[in-house]
């Protein structure tokens, strides 16, 4: 067996001798032979393929622990893991890109200079128990600046969802000084603590309680989004429907990794299992935070999974497009969920971005906020 010195192997594999020594210590790429007297490392030509794979994965930014797992797989499984890793990176990069653009605009004042038309939200909200559940564990809130849906689970699911939304309600007042993202992050931290306190007090036989939370905060020209769990937010713009949240669920992670199709996910036995939620044990889950530029004519939907589990996106788009009044659209969406069997609580907030004007007395703009459970 032909052996290469560590220097020659480093040059051929595009890894530094220092990196090779580290990978030996981590048992990621041990040498074929170590001289017992000098401790000098020698590598076999057959190890070059693995070494080059390690080098490329490091260039992708993959952590060493994940590289070790990938290297232990056959080619097809390794390819699936790399695809899944890059899908996560892509999603995280998109979020950071949005945040970076928002921060640049805030620091330079670019966005303030662009907006000459005053915009506001026209909104409606409704929550329904459905036809199967004995109680409603959802909470929905719609106000002049804040739109939120929380879907509770476990013995204290209903109070958990109420506590999560209550922790954000102060944001519906006048804009506070400071970054809107910082405000949202602090509010969600408070929501998590409140839900945890309730969950500990109501724990039964070790069963956890918690809640999802998806909320939009209006800044006058943008909507800041905070999201954790599998409730969803959608944007209807220029005739197209776009989901602007990513489910934190087991089935969504399997879809992302290419291990499950969308059709298979609909009947998967773990489709209700969440990877992230407020109030669960362990380290606090980190929510998704992002900011979106608003346009006159945009229509937003925030909803619990009681809608999306039984009403396909195509029908959601049809119903959002058909109605001109947010209240009528909310009723039609909940009606569609119940017509499909109503197996879960269903909650919806629909909000239109419109040019600010003096509203009629009955209009749902800038009026009293609505909290529904």
Confidence of residue 99 (pLDDT cuts 50, 70, 90): low
Residue 261 CB partners (closer than 8 Å, separation 6+): 255
pLDDT, position 27:
85
Domain segments of the chain: what residues?
Answer: 3-72, 117-372
How far does Cα 356 stand from its chain's mean position? 31
pLDDT digits (tens, 9 = 90+) for 40-64: 999 999 999 999 899 889 888 888 8
Closest CA to 229 of 308, 318, 172, 151: 151
* Buried b or exposed e, range 328-339, using 16+ CB within 10 angstroms: ebbbbbbebbbe
Residue 304 and residue 229: Cα distance in Å, rounded? 10
Cβ–Cβ < 8 Å for 169, 146: yes
* Count of residues making up the chain: 373
pLDDT digits (tens, 9 = 90+) for 130-166: 999 999 999 999 999 999 999 999 889 999 999 999 9
Average pLDDT on 115-143 reads 92
What percent of the chain clears pLDDT 70, i.e. is strictly above it?
Answer: 88
What percent of the chain clears pLDDT 90, i.e. is strictly above it?
Answer: 54
pLDDT, position 63:
85
pLDDT, position 104:
73
Residue 165 and residue 135: Cα distance in Å, rounded? 18
Q: Which residue has the tokens 């600010």?
A: 356
| Fold topology of 3-72 | Multidrug-efflux Transporter Regulator; Chain: A; Domain 2 (1.10.1660)
Average pLDDT on 203-228 reads 87
Q: In this predicted model, which residue has the larger pLDDT, 181 or 373?
A: 181
Class of domain 117-372: alpha beta
What is the 3-state composition of the chain as percent helix, strand, coil, each rounded to the nearest 5?
40, 25, 35
Beta bridge partners of 274: 249
């Amino acid at each position: 067996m032909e052996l290469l010195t560590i220097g020659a192997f480093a040059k051929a594999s595009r890894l530094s001798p220092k990196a090779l020594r580290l990978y030996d210590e981590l048992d990621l790429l041990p040498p074929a032979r170590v001289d017992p007297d000098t401790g000098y490392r020698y590598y076999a030509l057959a190890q070059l393929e693995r070494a080059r794979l390690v080098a490329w994965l490091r260039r992708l930014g993959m952590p060493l622990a994940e590289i070790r797992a990938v290297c232990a797989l056959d080619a097809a499984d390794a390819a699936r893991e790399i695809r899944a890793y890059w899908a996560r990176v892509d999603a995280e990069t998109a979020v950071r890109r949005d945040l970076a653009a928002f921060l640049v605009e805030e620091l330079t004042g670019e966005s303030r200079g662009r907006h000459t038309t005053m915009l506001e939200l026209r909104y409606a909200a409704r929550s329904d128990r459905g036809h199967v559940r004995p109680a409603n564990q959802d909470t929905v809130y719609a106000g002049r600046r804040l739109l939120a849906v929380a879907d509770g689970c476990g013995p204290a699911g209903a109070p958990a969802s109420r506590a999560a939304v209550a922790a954000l309600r102060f944001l519906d007042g006048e804009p506070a000084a400071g970054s809107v993202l910082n405000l949202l992050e602090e509010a969600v931290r408070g929501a998590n603590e409140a839900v945890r306190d309730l969950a500990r007090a109501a724990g039964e036989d070790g069963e956890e309680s918690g809640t999802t939370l998806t909320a939009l905060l209006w800044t006058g020209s943008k909507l800041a989004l905070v999201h954790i769990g599998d409730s969803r937010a959608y944007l209807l713009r220029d005739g197209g429907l776009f989901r602007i949240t990513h489910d934190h669920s087991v089935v969504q992670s399997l879809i992302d990794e290419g291990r499950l199709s969308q059709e298979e996910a609909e009947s998967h036995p773990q489709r209700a299992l969440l990877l992230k939620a407020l109030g669960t044990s362990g380290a606090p889950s980190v929510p998704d935070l992002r900011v979106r530029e608003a346009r006159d004519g945009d229509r937003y939907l925030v909803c619990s999974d009681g809608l999306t589990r039984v009403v396909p996106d195509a029908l959601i788009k049809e119903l959002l497009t058909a109605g001109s009044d947010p209240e009528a659209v909310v009723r039609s969406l909940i009606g569609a969920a119940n017509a499909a069997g109503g197996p879960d609580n269903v909650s919806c907030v629909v909000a239109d971005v419109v040019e600010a004007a003096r509203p009629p007395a009955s209009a749902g703009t800038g009026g009293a906020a609505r909290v529904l459970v």
